[in-house]
Amino acid sequence: MSEHPPELDPRLVEILVCPLTRTPLRYDRVAQELVSDSAKLAYPVRDGIPIMLISEAREITD
């Protein structure tokens, strides 16, 4: 039995926006994160549920 993380519905990704900048997000399936390139934040996806809290986001460094 493989332990693959649950898939995130692509229709959900299309309607979600960054709570800080209100810009579209991209889904990083490997990292299980929704990424806001404009805010340089990555929001975690836990058990297939996006955690859209700025306080839970990881800062992206270049």
pLDDT 10s digits, 1-59: 456 777 899 999 999 999 999 999 999 999 999 999 999 999 999 999 999 999 999 99
Q: Do residues 13 and 27 touch, judged by C-beta distance below 8 A?
A: yes
Look at the domain 13-59 and name its fold.
N-terminal domain of TfIIb (2.20.25)
pTM: 0.89
Residue 17 per-residue DSSP state: B
Instruction: Give the dihedral of Cα atoms 12, 17, 23, 27; nearest 10 deg.
Output: -50
